[in-house]
Amino acid sequence: MTLWWQYGILGLGAGAAYVLLAQGILLIYRGSGVVNFAHGGFAMLGAYIYNVELRGNHGLGVLPAMLISVAVIGLLAGLVHPLIMRPLRSAAPLTRVIATLGVLLVLQAVATLRWGSASESVLPVLPQNPIHITSGIVLSEDRLIIVVIAIAVTAGLYAFSKYATAGLAIRAAAENQRAASSLAWSPDMLAFATWSFGGALAAFAGILITPYSGLDINTLTLVVISAMAAALLGSFRSFPVVLAGGLAIGVIRSLLVGRSAPTSSSKAPRTPCPSCSSWWCWWFAAGTCPSAARSWTGCPSWARDGSARCPSSPGSPWSRCSCSACSARPRTSASGCP
């Protein structure tokens, strides 16, 4: 039973990232009436700008690199409205959805040309100190921080849309642009603002999730599917319901992974160590090694021993290399993963 609680807590971190993405999707929909499938592309682009360009190539600190990345993607997302969505204002809703898919494909192509398609591991953004809830349940500090951020963002957006004059104007413009214009509110400026803030949220979520998912164009782009499901649960209307739906999706997905994972029982099958894109390696990246790893063949010794902490220092090969599976034979950082 303890293991299931651990799986559920692990899912809260991913669920919070889904919430941040879904709130951006919901905000854009409420401001312009467009279901934005390019949202995952904004998250992917923000993560690459932060990790590769600003942190890697220019050596900026975490906070300056994050602020610049979020601002750049926010501006880029905002420009999508006047350049693409506004000319399609009178088009059918399906046409506008297809246009966002076109934006997504363009972002993927640009990222592939600039950075290639190989998956990479990145250093953590948030502190990863373990928090021992009980003797058998451990919560990584970074996951708790992401959940708190998701709750704070949701509360802020809910209060803004319900009580702020600009929030009410955004809702009115999405339903009747002419009525909003008669009250001296520009529907185009409101839509630009919602696209910008929604894109900034996507970039922020992408930066937070890459230490667990890895820096991969396809993975970061497709995470929008889970976020879209959370927005759909909220009927593209309710920020609090999207929060609950995103967290629930994260927990359920983690529990489903846990159901198929091996246990530490002596009768457990000895299966290969899963790939670094799996949820187990997201757990490893958080610094907590599952005791069930003792039953896996091909795992590093620190995982087989069920250690409480995994190697995560900048000098360790595990944190720097990009791998598709754990290896039974230790290798150097130049040739692969430990």
Q: Indicate the residue among 260, 283, 302 that finishes a domain.
A: 260
Select the more confidently predicted residue: 113 or 305: 113
CB burial of 298-317 (b: ≥16 within 10 Å; e: otherwise) equals bbbebbbeebeebbbeeeeb
Residues 312 and 252 in one domain: no
Q: How many domains does the chain have?
A: 2
- Write down the mean pLDDT value for the chain: 76
> Alpha-carbon torsion 118, 121, 123, 126, what sign?
positive
Q: Please report which confidence band the pLDDT of residue 161 belongs to, taking 50, 70 and 90 as the band edges.
A: confident
Percent of the chain past pLDDT 90, that is, above it, reads 37
Query: How many angstroms separate the CA atoms of 338 and 317, rounded?
Result: 6
Any idea which of 52-61, 193-202, 302-311 has the lowest mean pLDDT?
302-311
Residues 8 and 138 in one domain: yes
Residues 176 and 284 in one domain: no
Section 41-62 average pLDDT: 92
Neighbours of 336 (CB within 10 A): 17
Residues 64 and 204 in one domain: yes
Residues 161 and 302 in one domain: no
Residues 27 and 173 in one domain: yes
Q: Indicate the residue among 212, 242, 260 that finishes a domain.
A: 260
Residues 15 and 147 in one domain: yes
> Alpha-carbon torsion 300, 306, 307, 312, what sign?
positive
Distances (CA, A) of 260 to 89, 257, 269: 47, 5, 11
The predicted pLDDT at position 258 comes to 65
The predicted pLDDT at position 6 comes to 75
Residues 24 and 97 in one domain: yes
Q: Which residues contact 17 (CB under 8 A, 6 or more apart)?
A: 146, 150, 205, 208, 209, 223, 250
Residues 304 and 253 in one domain: no
Q: Indicate the residue among 219, 237, 260 that finishes a domain.
A: 260
- Given the structure tokens 């950075």, which residue do they identify? 115
Residues 204 and 148 in one domain: yes
CB burial of 208-229 (b: ≥16 within 10 Å; e: otherwise) equals bbbbbbbbbbebbbebbebbbe
Residues 12 and 36 in one domain: yes
Residue 13: which domain range? 2-260
Position 147: which residue type? V
Select the more confidently predicted residue: 265 or 223: 223
Residues 121 and 139 in one domain: yes
Q: List 132's β-bridge partners, or say none.
A: 138
Looking at the predicted structure, is the pLDDT value of residue 190 above 50?
yes
Looking at the predicted structure, is the pLDDT value of residue 288 above 70?
no
